[in-house]
Structure 1
């Protein structure tokens, strides 16, 4: 950028406020987001805000559920955001404490989160509040393909998420949040998102659930997901090929495959052109009921 123009927060449109701070920063947008997140097709979740008059000073959101890849029932902290001028006042700690109390009442065994940067303020905040590293995460970038190496049979998936699916490859979040993104009209309203959710069937291939979303048709920004109920050794190169194909169907040119550390040897054995790189890890905090 060769030029920049400064503006105040009040001059931003609701769409611009969403881009610059999420639903935390605008009550009208936040209301729609929260109402939709309570639909039956999504897992139970809670959202807490710290308000100062008509302004949201801070926000935390968590999804509650059980998944085969995560021990016991957990609360996944989806977002924790504090307005810059309201930081270092204890607001984040109070919001985190509220989620922990609610998670305990909901029968959760742990809190799960991944920080923006482990060595930065986000990671250090969680470490100070009793979190520790649970598992490493890795990312692999691949091009999409218009024709896979086999003939996949794709069938529209049901709206209700099956908790027995094991999240093998996703985006940043757990499959609870991924399911919400794939079925919420909120992203479609603001980003004109295109989304597809299919069950994958092919001869000799373990069944899987595939999801893909393209948030913006111009910038080619999106994500793909794969839910898998089999053992990790049953994951095959055909599953990866199907994800590349799904990415093409939703309008992406490149996909990012994010996975946990136990899948690293399996992915490396596929001899793909690119090599996985390490991301910030998942952090976990055990909570006593």
Structure 2
């Protein structure tokens, strides 16, 4: 008999064990291309994280779970599927508001089922629990992007009432040591005003990006991260910028741009500022991930690289 319940301190070790069961082989990474096979016990918490995220190690998972409960961040929920003493699977969701999405929503951050427990309806039960909780929290929709739309994850969500919401695109750009103008960067506020909306950085929703930039995981996983307030430049619409250099082994990162104006006010100076911020956190290349409505604007900038399409966001309306 499978029981769905909210994650607790007592069940956190079982969640980590469930996550570990999804990995076939463990590697010690020396670089992006150099690695050697090893065992889980021989890896540091940091190296375990590289195989899938903070829930790969109990100490980091505990830190992540505790920080996600702080009032500084948008509410986060994790539910587990318990079968006797075994955690068969889990689902995590952030609840918040996004200016690009009508109403309040729940963003499904992760959904994982233990390999031997798949195709038994457990994922559907976990999804149903999140939907019920989201509706009680006043959410109008569920939001997710699948690993592969044509693969098992994408087809699972489509079978459960999701549909394509918006396409996502990625543009890879080199960082620059000096932008085309001299930006003045201020410290960012701890809390994000609702009028600021994320327009670049859509590998996740605004609230997840905000959480990553404010969390204390720098020593475990991030080489560097920085969040800055509005740029000061003549004719430039205000924007919040964030930049992360992920783990020092792989040396890749992401940048974020929150905007208070209209999307057509996005300028090449904003892109230049993001490239500069990427340089400040130690990156040689940045990834700009954005939604389909920004594609014409980005293409008009005549940048050297061309955007390529990613898996789309899926949405399910749940308001009654």
For this structure pair, what is the TM-score category when the shorter chain's length is used for normalisation? over 0.9
Q: How far apart are the structure 2 equivalents of 1:44 and 1:15?
A: 26
Q: CA deviation at 1:3?
A: 11
Taking a change above 3 Å as real, the CA distance of residues 46 and 20 of structure 1, as seen in their structure-2 partners, is same
C-alpha contact (below 8 Å) 1:76/1:111 kept by paired residues? yes
Deviation track 1:69-110 (CA, whole Å, cap 9, x = no partner) reads 111110111111223232222221111111101100000000
Q: How far apart are the structure 2 equivalents of 1:129 and 1:211?
A: 34
Q: CA deviation at 1:51?
A: 3.9
Q: How far apart are the structure 2 equivalents of 1:53 and 1:11?
A: 29
Q: CA deviation at 1:266?
A: 0.5
Deviation track 1:102-121 (CA, whole Å, cap 9, x = no partner) reads 10000000000111100001
Deviation track 1:122-143 (CA, whole Å, cap 9, x = no partner) reads 1001001100000011111100
C-alpha contact (below 8 Å) 2:221/2:247 kept by paired residues? no
Q: How far apart are the structure 2 equivalents of 1:27 and 1:97?
A: 27
Q: CA deviation at 1:2?
A: 11
Q: CA deviation at 1:13?
A: 4.7
Q: CA deviation at 1:39?
A: 1.3
- Structure 2 residue runs of 5 or longer lacking an equivalent are 1-31
Q: How far apart are the structure 2 equivalents of 1:144 and 1:118?
A: 31
Deviation track 1:227-276 (CA, whole Å, cap 9, x = no partner) reads 01111111100000000000000001001101111111000000000111
21-30 vs 133-142, which moves further: 21-30
C-alpha contact (below 8 Å) 1:24/1:58 kept by paired residues? no
* TM-score between the two structures when normalised by the length of structure 2: 0.84
Q: What count of residue pairs does the alignment treat as equivalent?
A: 289
Q: CA deviation at 1:15?
A: 3.5
C-alpha contact (below 8 Å) 1:24/1:56 kept by paired residues? no
Q: How does 1:8-157 map to 2 (within 5 A)?
A: 13-51=44-82, 56-157=87-188
- Structure 1 residue runs of 5 or longer lacking an equivalent are none
C-alpha contact (below 8 Å) 2:213/2:242 kept by paired residues? yes
Q: How far apart are the structure 1 equivalents of 2:175 and 2:47?
A: 30
Q: How far apart are the structure 2 equivalents of 1:230 and 1:22?
A: 34
Where 1:65 maps in the other structure, the secondary structure is strand
91-100 vs 240-249, which moves further: 91-100
Taking a change above 3 Å as real, the CA distance of residues 178 and 11 of structure 1, as seen in their structure-2 partners, is same
Q: CA deviation at 1:159?
A: 0.7
Deviation track 1:6-39 (CA, whole Å, cap 9, x = no partner) reads 6665665544443323344444432221111111
* TM-score between the two structures when normalised by the length of structure 1: 0.92
Where 1:288 maps in the other structure, the secondary structure is coil
Match of 2:206 in 1: 175
Where 1:139 maps in the other structure, the secondary structure is strand
216-225 vs 4-13, which moves further: 4-13
The equivalent position to 1:215 in structure 2, one of 239, 246, 251, is 246
C-alpha contact (below 8 Å) 2:166/2:291 kept by paired residues? yes
Deviation track 1:187-242 (CA, whole Å, cap 9, x = no partner) reads 43344443333322211110000000112234222110000111111110000000
Taking a change above 3 Å as real, the CA distance of residues 270 and 89 of structure 1, as seen in their structure-2 partners, is same
Taking a change above 3 Å as real, the CA distance of residues 53 and 29 of structure 1, as seen in their structure-2 partners, is farther
C-alpha contact (below 8 Å) 1:67/1:164 kept by paired residues? no
Q: How far apart are the structure 2 equivalents of 1:28 and 1:72?
A: 35
Where 1:5 maps in the other structure, the secondary structure is strand
C-alpha contact (below 8 Å) 2:213/2:225 kept by paired residues? no
C-alpha contact (below 8 Å) 1:152/1:200 kept by paired residues? yes
C-alpha contact (below 8 Å) 2:200/2:289 kept by paired residues? yes
